[in-house]
Amino acid sequence: MSAWIDTLMVALMLANLALLCSSRLRMLVRVVAVQGLVLGILPVLAEDGNVTVRMALLVVASIGLRGVVFPILLLRTLRQANVRREVEPYVGYTLSMLFGVVAFGASLWIDSRLPLTGQAFSSLAVPVAIFTMLVGLFLIISRKKAVSQVLGYLVLENGIYILGVSLVLEVPLLVELGVLLDAFVAVFVMGIATYHISREFDHIDVDQLDSLKG
């Protein structure tokens, strides 16, 4: 069982690295979708297969939103906004990947220093959660396109979810649904905002926002 969870954790980690090094926006959306799917199965494995109705509901909602609805929304935005396919990073792909290694090392270190009360189901869970959050933040600050910032936000949210599942298995249903709803609204609003930005300015390059400063 633990080998399976570790495999899932490494899959999440590899998805993070793929996010750092892929150059196509569509690819990024797909990788985030896959990460969402893997995340969705996580609670089932963490509970050793004892599925309750409540959890089944959460798993279905989480997989449905992260793995299906978000990607469809984002891909539609990409199509409507006529975005160029490249990610256009500020930081090169190779350097991003090296950042990934450093960030993973850093999250292992943070994990060893963090006074956590709960016991995670896998020794990798907390480092991977922190790593995912760091990668999400890095995507937000190092990429030009508005869509990649939405993706960075989603990855950040994924990281928080891993941390939540691994430490507090019994998160109240209401909180869990609230978080999912928040993420859903955020992606929805950001998708629409991105579309409008591209309609107004013919691109979604947030670099240009600098010129708004007085």
Residues 129, 165: Cα–Cα separation, whole Å: 10
Phi, then psi, of 85 in degrees rounded to 5: -75, -25
User: Which of 76, 123, 172, 192 is close enough to bind other proteins by CB under 8 A?
Assistant: 123
CB 7 → other proteins: shortest distance, Å?
5
- Site for other proteins contains 169 (CB under 8 A): no
User: What is d(CA 107, CA 133) in angstroms, rounded to the nearest whole number?
Assistant: 10
Binding range to other proteins, per CB under 8 A, among 4-12, 26-34, 189-197, 204-212: 4-12
Task: Rank residues 103 and 150 by Cβ distance to other proteins and give the closer one.
Answer: 103
To other proteins, the closest distance from the beta carbon of 139 in angstroms equals 17
- Range 85-114, binding other proteins (CB under 8 A): 93-94, 97-98, 100-101, 104-105, 108
Count of C-beta atoms within a 10 Å radius of residue 51: 12
Token code pair at residue 27: 């690819």
Asked whether 38 and 65 are in contact (CB, 8 A), the reply is: no
Site track 13-32 with other proteins (rule: CB under 8 A), x = hit: x---x---x-----------
Q: Judged by CB under 8 A, does residue 173 bind other proteins?
A: no
Check: CB of residue 126 under 8 Å from CB of residue 120.
yes
Asked whether position 41 contacts other proteins by CB under 8 A, the answer is no
Contact 123, 3 (CB under 8 A): no
Give the residue with the Cβ less far from other proteins, 120 or 180.
Answer: 120
- Contact present, 172 and 58 (Cβ < 8 Å): no
With CB under 8 A, what is the number of residues at the site for other proteins? 19
Q: Tell which one of 3, 53, 174, 212 touches other proteins (CB under 8 A).
A: 3
Nearest to 49 by CA among 7, 1, 10, 9: 1
> Which residue type, as a one-letter code, is found at position 19?
L
**Under the rule (CB under 8 A), what is the footprint of other proteins?**
3, 6-7, 10-11, 13, 17, 21, 93-94, 97-98, 100-101, 104-105, 108, 123-124
